[in-house]
Each structure stands twice: as C-alpha cells, then as structure tokens.
Chains A and B, each alone.
Chain A
Amino acid sequence: DSGVTQTPKHLITATGQRVTLRCSPRSGDLSVYWYQQSLDQGLQFLIQYYNGEERAKGNILERFSAQQFPDLHSELNLSSLELGDSALYFCASSEQGSGGANEKLFFGSGTQLSVL
C-alpha cells in the first residue's frame, strides 16, 4: 500500500459529460502529480501541485483542470469528455515536489475512466 488513495476506482460515463477524480496524498507529502495512462500514449504527465499551488504542467488538455485543496487532497476535473479520454488516471505524491528527479514518487492504484 503506497498510502496514496484515489477514488473512484472505476468510472463509466458518456461523451460530453464531466467527471471529477479525487486523490489523497500520503501523509506528509506536499506535492501531488496527475498522470494519464493509455494504450496508445503510454504514461503521460498531466500536472503537478505543490502545497496548493500549481507547479508544473505537462500534456494536459484545456478541457481538463485540477486543483489542490488546503488539506492537500487534489481533484482532477475532466469535461466535455471524448472517447479518447478513456484511460487509467494515476495520482502520485512526493514529499518535496522535485517531480521524482531526486525523490521517490508514490502512486495510487488509479481511476479507470471509460467514456462510452
């Protein structure tokens, strides 16, 4: 158990809809990262937050947004969903926020999103 909690584990929705994925980082970790894992794109970094502030952006679409709350949990909002958004979305956390370059990333078990 990594200590990172993601909910829900599975989400099935229709095109055009909006969903929210939730992540609780490991106790004591200040930084949260969102990754998307799909068959064709592999594992892609989306966005990072550190202590409530956005720190880095990767390949995140404009239809997607995220935030980190004062209690350090994070939410990833996906809107106007398309079939191609179907993927496994991972949240990871780390203590300092160096992005995994100099510290370990702890991953949750992911949210499987299916857009029908």
Chain B
Amino acid sequence: GNSVTQMEGPVTLSEEAFLTINCTYTATGYPSLFWYVQYPGEGLQLLLKATKADDKGSNKGFEATYRKETTSFHLEKGSVQVSDSAVYFCALPAPAAGNKLTFGGGTRVLVKP
C-alpha cells in the first residue's frame, strides 16, 4: 500500500539557516502529496501540496517538488525563523484506508534564535 518515510528528528537549526526535511514515498500511480505542520499545542494544518509529478507546492517560504524519478517530496525553506519550530508531516492518500491521508512519522524542527 501507499506509504511515506520521512527523516527522523529532531532537527535543530539556527535562525536564517537552510532547512531540508526528506520525504520519500511508495505509491501506486501518482497520488497527490502533502506536507502538514503541527505547531506546539495545535492540530495539524496543511502547509502545501502537489497534485502531479514535477509540480512544486509552496507556502510561507516553504517549497516541495514532486519528483517521481526519485519518489521524493522533500520540504525546503531557505531561511528559517523561530516561528517555524514545529513538527512537519509528509502525507499521501492510502487506497487501503479508503484513500484517507497516511502520514509519515513526523519530523520535529527546533529553530533557535
């Protein structure tokens, strides 16, 4: 079935550093891919998505490109802020679960001033 694997955290960075969170997927066909973010004490919220191969999703300075050749959807941000400290989840629909979103294990990011 469809699944995602993302790098384990925590990732600790200084403000203005470059952030990359790796996500690779296994899927039948070419499903949409998503990044959700969970800020401390809150529920998950959609950060960005890409609906087909070579699409680039972007939001709040974050970007991720849907690469079918490497089955990856890595999340990047050029200059992180303290407010980006959160847990980031890569996700894709899982046909085995009625096409509900299946999430990776989450990567905790801590940005220090």
Contact = CB atoms under 8 A, between A and B. Distances in A.
A99 B32 CA distance: 12
Interface in A20-58: 33, 42-43, 45, 48, 55-58
Interface stretch (B11-19, B43-51, B74-82): B43-51
A99 B100 contact: yes
A42 B104 contact: yes
B57 interface: no
B42 A43 contact: no
Interface residues of B, number: 24
B26 interface: no
Given A45-B102, A58-B100, A102 B32 contact: yes
Given A55-B98, A56-B97, A100-B93, A90 B104 contact: no
Contacts of A107: 43-45
B-side interface mostly: strand
- Most chain A C-beta atoms within 10 Å of own C-beta, residue among B45, B89, B100: B100
Contacts of B98: 48, 55-57, 99
A45 B3 CA distance: 13
Interface string B84-108: 0000010101100111111111100
A2 B45 CA distance: 8
B106 A42 contact: yes
A105 B97 contact: no
A42 B4 CA distance: 12
Interface of A: 2, 4, 33, 42-43, 45, 48, 55-58, 90, 92, 98-102, 104-110
